[in-house]
Structure 1
């Protein structure tokens, strides 16, 4: 058991915007604080989501959203939930839209909730591919080379000189909810393919065309941290991603805690320079060709795989934030190196795909020191079976579609 106590008078609220009921990160946050006696609340799509079925959830607020609502409506909805809870709650956003909304409307939400304060413009900039790229260039952080064409003519110019393959992504994080130019991350093999796709992107293509980092010469690394008001990490973890689904381009299916002091220092310095506070989930790719870690994504919110990371004192990033925002000390401790995280519903197809390709991760331990499952927990079994009920029928169809069509376009987390 953890050698600390959380303030049980301060509840937590999982905040999500959009329709993604099978989110193990939200379930993990409910369990992380709920097991220590913190009252937990969550916004859910309906009453039959895995999060809504957790024994550690005091109450779920059914509030289906799309991400297209006017911000004022979302703010008022959150404030109404705050009034129903009846006391200030720690906010835990699980998507970029929620993180941006909270930052940009901090004054309106501050009376009902507890959350880190920061430059209100920063989360939107970090969630934008262009915004993150510009911050990396400004602060000397390696990132894949990228172009941001504003017209078809500029795409033609790019196609004439670019080195293929390249990767196309939506420029702004929220475009996937409106009229996305591409579906997730799209690998483009040559100029003809690029020009053919670009004809459907409209007069102002909202895409980023990015250098492709070949999987044979790369490793995927993860940094999770909680950053305090002075922009210093109260806890910071590093790990390596072994498998993802879709392969090499999507959500983490299996990962390990692996020490990486160089990467930890790089992440700490970048976070300090940009002035971020709160929970972060960073995706890096190590490029063996030039020996550099390149930042792919800076997610200013709780990462779905955050429960991989825990230290010897029992601290994860969600517990660290709750302790800090309630005025308590965050215990220090070494990260539990060798600990493994597995997402049961996607790791099996991911494992088969990786075996077929022959790809391995050199830094992954041969044996795990312990395993955290995303869904199955002996003390909280209902979320697992709820996930199965919702996943199996549409999930099988989706997995087959992704298996046969992943070469051109993949969905999920926007990684190369």
Structure 2
């Protein structure tokens, strides 16, 4: 068995305000189970993760939040954390904002932390939706057809030509002002007028608006890729998987996922990482279109929340692989894994109640064999082949050796539900309380095409019923 030297502490950093981020807990447990001294810098009170027995200490993040364009507050915070720990530590960013901010202050951190070498502000570049579209076009990675309009009129014309509906994204969602009414990172736009109005809020949003062709969700359409890479984009551990349940339903984060090798997904992801010279952990989201082409829709320069799905028979995952790489240790060749299932208990329950169905223990479709990577192409493939992992379920919250976070999650979930129920009852008159009924609205009249744009284009079918916000994590 591979000897795991655990002499270097680890700091898990999360700046977003999501106390139910199970990926943070996964990172704490993954390293803590190997005897690593794990610290966490978290916002929003920490959430259930602070109850983990594998967490040595919790450190408060910057009190006023972090501006990714000027992250001096984060530098001051991490300097204080380093001084309290007393020796260099591996730093693992768990959300996009953290990864982008750390990359901007990396030169000032290198004496205190071991972090991936990502030059030229790489995390911000790949997380930028407009830049990602350009990189995909440059390196022949399939991507949804995308337009970056330069005016409200261009936005309206693009919305008509691409759809409707079309997917509207802000190029740099981490710059969106907190609490801005109607400004979401991703929105489904159903009319040219909506696209025009959204474009007119570009200054408020802080970045450019993108309009993408809508790719309908359905069985076997949503896939993801997780990988850990050494310098130069050399893969250490990688795998592709399929989203089987999501929350919100059809468009949200992974509630249930399965590790299934797919050649097209893996080849596109490995090529992109190699061309970028990417070091560290990444999480990519793909959607399969009606022709069976996997199109990259999101690039996250950090671990995905379900990264523990991709743990081999010995427990090696992308966080452990990166820890080994950054501490100068050899990363063992992975073995076993595909067929494993990941379940985020709270989201899986919500998704099942809202019309989904929990998958059975076997794969719903055939697992496809990924192509081997030859030495000339960059070494043996890090994607693990079918073996000992088949059929094993990895839960996000429950762990027999670490029950505290699961209990805390349940208590918070029940408390939140009770609070919402009480507020709803207070808002209903005492007389005449009744069960809410679904309201069926007549379809809206389709707008005419914008002047001078696609006048001869036949009217597309009515927009499918999808939530206004599309979350692809």
Q: Distance in 2 between matches of 1:396 and 1:258?
A: 38
Residues 186-207 of structure 1 deviation map (CA, whole Å, 9 limit, x = unaligned) = 2222334434555555688732
Residues 87-131 of structure 1 deviation map (CA, whole Å, 9 limit, x = unaligned) = 111111111111112222211000110111021321101111111
Q: Is 1:35 equivalent to 2:33 in the alignment?
A: yes
Do 1:185 and 1:249's aligned partners in 2 also have CA atoms closer than 8 Å? no
Sort the Cα spacing of 1:65 and 1:319 in 2 relative to 1 into closer, same or farther, 3 A.
Answer: farther
Q: Which residue of 1 aligns with 2:66?
A: 67
Q: Distance in 2 between matches of 1:84 and 1:213?
A: 49
Q: Distance in 1 between matches of 2:163 and 2:57?
A: 53
Mark the structure with the bigger radius of gyration: 2
Displacement after TM superposition at 1:177 (Å): 4.3
Q: Is 1:409 equivalent to 2:407 in the alignment?
A: no
Do 1:19 and 1:65's aligned partners in 2 also have CA atoms closer than 8 Å? no
1:265 to 264, 267, 272: 267
Task: Note the 1:280-359 alignment, pairs <5 A.
Answer: 280-287=282-289, 289-355=290-356
Displacement after TM superposition at 1:364 (Å): 7.4
Do 1:165 and 1:190's aligned partners in 2 also have CA atoms closer than 8 Å? yes
Sort the Cα spacing of 1:305 and 1:396 in 2 relative to 1 into closer, same or farther, 3 A.
Answer: farther
SS at match of 2:47: coil
Displacement after TM superposition at 1:350 (Å): 1.0
Displacement after TM superposition at 1:319 (Å): 0.6
Displacement after TM superposition at 1:265 (Å): 1.9
Q: Is 1:133 equivalent to 2:133 in the alignment?
A: yes
Task: Note the 1:85-234 alignment, pairs <5 A.
Answer: 85-178=85-178, 179=180, 182-195=183-196, 197-198=198-199, 206-216=208-218, 219-234=221-236
Do 1:17 and 1:65's aligned partners in 2 also have CA atoms closer than 8 Å? no
Displacement after TM superposition at 1:52 (Å): 1.2
Displacement after TM superposition at 1:60 (Å): 0.6
Do 1:32 and 1:319's aligned partners in 2 also have CA atoms closer than 8 Å? yes
Do 1:115 and 1:325's aligned partners in 2 also have CA atoms closer than 8 Å? yes
SS at match of 1:4: coil
SS at match of 2:90: strand
Q: Distance in 1 between matches of 2:352 and 2:8?
A: 41
Residues 42-90 of structure 1 deviation map (CA, whole Å, 9 limit, x = unaligned) = 0123656212110000111122553347411111211111111111111
With normalisation by structure 2, the TM-score equals: 0.79
Q: Distance in 2 between matches of 1:338 and 1:162?
A: 37
Please tell me the root mean square deviation across aligned C-alpha atoms, in Å.
2.9
User: Which structure carries more helix by proportion?
Assistant: 1
Displacement after TM superposition at 1:11 (Å): 0.9
Do 1:181 and 1:206's aligned partners in 2 also have CA atoms closer than 8 Å? no
Sort the Cα spacing of 1:410 and 1:397 in 2 relative to 1 into closer, same or farther, 3 A.
Answer: farther
Displacement after TM superposition at 1:14 (Å): 0.5
Displacement after TM superposition at 1:22 (Å): 1.3
Q: Distance in 1 between matches of 2:420 and 2:133?
A: 32
- The total of aligned residue pairs comes to 405
Query: Any gaps of 5 or more consecutive residues in structure 1?
Result: none
Sort the Cα spacing of 1:329 and 1:176 in 2 relative to 1 into closer, same or farther, 3 A.
Answer: same
Displacement after TM superposition at 1:324 (Å): 1.0
Sort the Cα spacing of 1:390 and 1:97 in 2 relative to 1 into closer, same or farther, 3 A.
Answer: same
